[in-house]
Amino acid sequence: MPLGQLPGNTPMKLGAAALCLCLLAAAVWLSLSMTTSESSGGGGGGGPGGGKKCAPTPLPRADVSLCRNLEVSYPELGNISCQVVPRCNMYRRKITNWPQPKVKYPAALAGADLKTGTIRGSVITDYGPPTPPPTTGLHRYQFFVFLQGTSTIPAPPKQNGDRGAWEMDDFLRNYRLPQAVTSTQFMTEYE
């Protein structure tokens, strides 16, 4: 399945923006997750004996390198970019049932859809929610935006079945994708 085409002779720049949304979609759908050490940060709002604050907490320091100007919002929880999903309110369970997050890149130069988080184009791999298994600590869910240029990216058959087997490095090399334009991640764990 070829990646989405824009109607008519839309200028290249916008085309590229829309196409990279497809890619972004791919990254989101694959929900690249990697286990991290149990000791790293985490937890969530609602500390003992305090107020009822239930808000995401910032990522552990070692995990902020991907934090750039990309926003990822789930219903109810809001912007989770660069944050750890809090334990309170059953958010960690709920995130598994919520639909795909809205992903916005407010700093996009061309491509209004990127700015508003309205994804257009073809989905390469359907969205899969975070499903971190028990006793594996916090997992990272990473989002990247790439400029696709003119290459066509076919639907990779095996990815739907086993997203854990997906190799991002290979993917980038195969389709000659340059460095990510922007990125972010959030973390959550089994609850």
Ligand X SMILES: *[C@@H]1O[C@H](CO)[C@@H](O)[C@H](O)[C@H]1NC(C)=O
Choose the binding region for ligand X from 75-83, 134-142, 145-153, 162-170 (rule: CB under 6 A): 75-83
Q: Who's near 30: CB < 8 A, 6+ residues apart?
A: 125, 128, 159, 163, 166
Residue selected from 71, 111, 140, 186 as contacting ligand X according to rule CB under 6 A? 71
What letters, b where the CB count within 10 A reaches 16 and e where it falls short, cover 29-40? bbbbbeebeeee
Q: Shortest approach of ligand X to residue 85 CB, angstroms?
A: 13
Instruction: For tokens 């720049």, name the residue.
Output: 13
Measured distance CA(7)–CA(121) in Å, rounded:
11
Choose the binding region for ligand X from 74-82, 87-95, 132-140, 160-168 (rule: CB under 6 A): 74-82
Q: Shortest approach of ligand X to residue 28 CB, angstroms?
A: 16
Residue type (1 letter), 133: P
* Count of beta carbons in the 10 Å neighbourhood of residue 70: 25
- The verdict on 182 binding ligand X (CB under 6 A) reads no
Residue selected from 82, 153, 181, 187 as contacting ligand X according to rule CB under 6 A? 82
- The verdict on 122 binding ligand X (CB under 6 A) reads no
Which residues form the interface with ligand X (CB under 6 A)? Answer: 71, 79, 81-83
